[in-house]
Structure 1
Amino acid sequence: MSSCPAVAPVAVRPRARLSHPVAFTAVAVIFVLFMAASSVPSPLYVVYQQEWGFSSMTLTAVFAVYVLGLIVSLLVVGALSDHIGRRPVLAAAIVGEAVSLVLFLVAGDVSALFAARVVQGVATGAAMSVLGATLVDLNPPHAPGRAGVISSVAPTSGLALGALGCGALVQFAPAPTHLVYALLLAGMVVALLLTAGLPETSARRPGALASLTPRLGVPARLRPDLFALLPILLSSWALGGLYLSLGPSVAAGLFGLTNHLVGGLVVTLLCGTGALTSLALRTAPVGMVLQAGAVLLAAGLGASLAGVLTDTVTLAVAGTLVSGVGFGASALASFGTLARLAAPGERGELFAVVYVIAYLAFSVPAVIAGFAATSAGLRSTAIVYGFAVAGLAVIAVIAQSVRAARR
């Protein structure tokens, strides 16, 4: 009998993973991409209104369902990545975002727009907490504050890029309600490929199903710091909600600036300035940045309100730029503080809580303002909203002064 030659075992190479520095950069890029996608509909709302003939109240409802989906997602899956790993949750979020972009592409009426925004909100909520936690996991040891900087820069820069890019495409490119979503869909495909190469940074541990029960849990040792940050979180994100929901409408309705690129610039002036501020102040003492952020938010809002009251565009723009500096400083110091304090097993849930607070402040006042604008008028609504947020900013100044004095 002939014998078969022995076959040497073939070594199976483990799937190649991105190095930690490259993975950190990839996660930051994906974060920016998600936030850009979330702000893209803002300059398009005016186009949708013209094409489909719906009211400002309907527009506000479209804005509201996005935030509702986002908050529910944060509450349900915010801590899931602490149990099953970061990569599976992020991959699922990217797939969900891609589905929402396809819905935007085929949308032909308001009902399709509602469906797209709900799915987008769920996907964005799932992504935000896991992206924030992954950045902290991959943070370079030689730069302990870098994850906090990126966690504050990525949302603001993404919002700015999405609004500005969409405004430019709507004004100058063909198929304004389709091209931008096709480009974002291609970006999500790339993001999914990058996610497949990320190293897993969170070990599996039991309790995944239990973690899906909606709850807001913050470890007792972190609560004093979170409570001290509440006024600045509320004022800065409420300001962001004002600009993303009503900003383009205020520019067109009160100042007569109907160019779609200008509508995108309204959001970019606030968020882009915020992103640049976060980068510029990344090495400054956190206490000083928090205090300065609160003061600049209040001062910028005061100038913007004066511009609205006097119909002075330059004053409103100057106020927006000052508010943007305060917005960026507030985000930098808030997320930087929490990123340094949270332990690895606490990060997913803690970032979920912070984003729930932020998006409640971002959405609830904006939704109320949208309904009020229908009955009371855009000018009166913008003025009352501005004064309310300025009041919160003043409270934030006082809170940070008291916190600094106690320390």
Structure 2
Amino acid sequence: MTAVLDRPAARTRGVFLPHGVGFAGISAAMVAVLVAAGAPGPLLPIYQAHWGFAPSMLTLAFGVYAFALLVTIPVVGSLSDYVGRRPLMISSLGLDLVAMVVFLLSPSIEWLIVGRIVQGVATAAASSSLSAAVVELAPEKHKKLGAQMTSMAPLAGLGIGALYSGLVAQFASDAAFAVWLVLVVVMVLATAFAVFTPETATRKPGALASLVPRVSLPPQVRRLYATTVPGIVSAFMLMTLWMGLVPVVLVSVFQVHSPIVAALAAFVVFAVGTVASATTSGVRPHRLRLLGTSGITAGTVLFVGSIGAHALPLIWVAALVTGAGIGAAFAGTTRGLVPEVAPHERAGLFTAIYVVGYLGMGVSAVVAGPVAGVVGAATMASWFGVITAVVALGGVIATARLNRK
């Protein structure tokens, strides 16, 4: 791998936290952003029962979030390379706070969709800047920990968000209000913490030009990046599957109506993914990507089999296998690509990773809803699983071929 040295960050005036504290705090903020992103899933059926909207609106509310991310990331993804990490972190976390307030006060599904759009824009702005800052704030003797956190935080956040929301939905009388009130407080704290986090990037001219929508991918990693795309897309499609479609499958196929069961299924996927990412730091990135895409393929086949056989226990086996696959694939992607780029190219690299991922998530979510209304949830979920498995299998082949060249 190519060794990359960090450039000195621009000096800023004010009182700031030590880098180690900043690393811990911004890592927590990155998790919090994804906790908020994972929280709506278990609440959507409750909103539907209260407001009486069409089932297709469930996947629309899920899909607009991904499309808001997709539209925003190419615009602001590289901005922190020019203006610094702090300004974008503070503004994106503040915007996520606005989204939490919209959710808290939403009187209808239309306002909920508005909140999801705002949340998508905020998460897009936060994704690249927080990821780059976490890498740069990591202790000097443990720089790999930064890249490891960027692969762990999204999975941990989504899993915690789904479980937290599901538990509240199971036991609280006004679940939505309780969920969003706590997350309002969390986002206030995260935004305040970002204000006192030291800057890690040197400002440079070209900020306005960087807003022209594009994906900036350094030439030296383009070939490697191309082989990771199927793994990224299939991993993000599985987020749609486990957070958007599995709750519907549990009701329609297995007659499971408890929100905590669907939340636990999503939690298992993301928790196992987090553990896989955290415990494989000694595994070579290439091997991790190969294992990850293989796990995604096998786990998704098991999920399709659970529907065909009406075997509920098989869903939990599929959750374990796909979770491990997602964690390994995403960890192998970030650990393989990040060390190959210069510090000022990191935000652009993360933008390229997230663009293809959220494209897969958004398209699959928006298409799945109407199709499920025509062919049924079980058939839709089965075909969704088959397509995801084929995409992941493409990742296995591409990664294996790269190793032979």
What interval of TM-score do these two structures reach, taking the shorter chain for normalisation?
Answer: over 0.9
Matched with 1:382 is: 381
Deviation of residue 336 (structure 1)?
1.4
Q: Shift in Å at residue 254 of structure 1?
A: 1.5
Retained in 1: the 8 A contact 2:23–2:137?
yes
Q: Distance in 2 between matches of 1:121 and 1:234?
A: 18
Give the gaps of 5 or more residues in structure 1.
Answer: 1-12
**1:5 paired residue number:** none
1-structure distance, mates of 2:37, 2:337: 24
Stretch deviating more after TM superposition (377-386 or 229-238):
229-238
Alignment coverage as a number of residue pairs: 394
Deviation at 1:177, TM superposition (A): 1.1
CA distance in 2, matches of 1:287, 1:62: 36
Query: Could you tell me which residue of structure 1 aligns to residue 264 of structure 2?
Result: 265
C-alpha contact 1:152 1:328 (8 A) present in aligned 2? yes
Task: State the SS of the aligned residue for 1:161.
Answer: helix
Question: In the alignment, which residue of structure 2 is the partner of 1:186?
Answer: 185
The offset of 1:139, in angstroms, is 2.6
Which residue is 1:117 aligned to? 116
Deviation of 1:289 after TM superposition, in Å, equals 1.2
- In the alignment, the residues of structure 2 paired with residue 236 and residue 17 of structure 1 have an alpha-carbon distance, to the nearest angstrom, of 37
Cross-structure match for 1:133: 132
Please say if residues 169 and 259 of structure 2, whose CA atoms lie closer than 8 Å, have aligned partners that are also in contact: yes
Cα deviation 1:232-267 (Å, max 9, x = unaligned)? 112211112211221211122221111111121121
Partner secondary structure for residue 368 of structure 1 = helix
Residue 366 of structure 1: aligned partner: 365
1:344 aligns to what? Answer: 343
Provide the rounded CA distance (Å) in 1 between the counterparts of 2:332 and 2:103: 35
Question: Structure 2: which amino acid aligns with 1:221?
Answer: Q
Contact preservation (8 Å) 1:308, 1:379: yes
Aligned-pair identity (%): 33
Question: Quick check: 1:144–1:340 contact (8 Å CA) kept in 2?
Answer: no
- 1:148 and 1:337 in contact (8 A); partners too: no
Q: Is the 8 A contact 1:295 1:394 kept in 2?
A: yes
Deviates more, 1:203-212 or 1:249-258: 249-258
What SS is found at the alignment partner of 2:86?
helix
> After the TM superposition, which parts of structure 1 deviate over 6 Å for at least 4 consecutive aligned residues?
none
CA distance in 2, matches of 1:353, 1:401: 22
CA-to-partner distance for each residue in 1:112-133, whole Å, 9 max, x for gaps?
A: 1111111111111100010111
Letter in structure 1 aligned against 2:224: D
Query: Residues of 2 paired with 1:342 and 1:250: CA distance?
Result: 42
1:27 & 1:338 partners in 2: Cα distance?
21
1:32 Cα deviation from its structure 2 partner: 0.4
**1:83 aligned partner, one-letter code:** Y
What is the deviation of 1:15?
2.8
The structural deviation recorded for 1:282 is: 1.9
User: How far 1:206 moved relative to its partner?
Assistant: 0.6
Q: In structure 1, what is the equivalent of residue 273 of structure 2?
A: 274
Equivalent residue letter for 1:36: V
- Give the structure 2 partner of residue 87 of structure 1: 86
Q: Name 2:6's counterpart in structure 1.
A: none
1:132·1:351 contact (CA, 8 Å) conserved in 2? yes
Is the Cα–Cα contact under 8 Å of residues 296 and 325 in structure 2 kept in the other structure?
Answer: yes
Tell whether 2:46 aligns with 1:47: yes
My pick for the range that moved more, 172-181 or 141-150, is 141-150
SS across alignment from 2:173: coil
Please give the TM-score of this superposition, normalised by the length of structure 2.
0.95
Cα pair 2:230 2:394 within 8 Å, conserved:
yes
Asked whether the equivalents of residues 34 and 154 of structure 2 are also in contact (C-alpha less than 8 Å), the reply is: yes
**Contact 2:65-2:362 at 8 Å conserved across structures:** no
The structural deviation recorded for 1:99 is 0.7
CA distance in 2, matches of 1:24, 1:53: 44
Query: Is 1:393 paired with 2:392?
Result: yes
Question: Which residue in 1 is equivalent to 2:159?
Answer: 160
Cα separation, 2, equivalents of 1:15 and 1:392: 49
- Which residue pairs with 1:217 in the alignment? 216
Q: Counterpart of 1:178 in 2: which secondary structure?
A: helix
Amino acid at match of 1:369: A
Cα distance in 2 between the residues matched to 1:262 and 1:17: 43
Q: How far does residue 174 in structure 1 lie from its aligned partner after superposition? A: 3.0
Aligned-partner Cα distance in 1 for 2:329–2:318: 16
Answer yes or no: is the 8 Å Cα contact 2:72–2:124 preserved in 1. yes
Aligned-pair CA distance for 1:141: 2.5
Alignment of 1:156-305 (within 5 A): 156-305=155-304
Partner SS, residue 142 of structure 2: coil
Q: In the alignment, which residue of structure 2 is the partner of 1:6?
A: none
Gaps of 5+ in 2: 1-11
The AA in structure 2 aligned to 1:227 is: A
| Alpha-carbon shift at residue 14 of structure 1 (Å) | 5.5
**2:257 corresponds to which letter in structure 1?**
T
Corresponding residue of 2:21: 22
Other-structure match for 2:66 = 67
The residue type equivalent to 2:218 in the other structure is P
* Counterpart secondary structure, 1:142: helix
Work out the CA distance in 1 between the residues paired with 2:254 and 2:99.
33
Deviations 1:83-113 (A, max 9, x none): 1111111111111111111111111111111
Structure 2 CA distance for aligned equivalents of residues 323 and 204 of structure 1 = 40
- The answer as to whether partners of 2:233 and 2:391 remain within 8 angstroms in 1 is yes
Higher mean alpha-carbon deviation, 126-135 vs 61-70, is at 61-70
Contact 1:147 1:336 survives alignment (8 Å) = no
Distance 2:211 2:392 in 1: 34
1:273 aligned partner, one-letter code: V
How many angstroms apart in 2 are the aligned matches of 1:116 and 1:217? Answer: 29
Find out whether 1:100 has 2:99 as its counterpart: yes
Deviates more, 1:211-220 or 1:40-49: 211-220
Contact 1:171 1:261 in 2 (8 A): yes
**Residue pairs, 1:324-343, within 5 angstroms:** 324-343=323-342
1:76 aligns to what SS in structure 2? Answer: helix
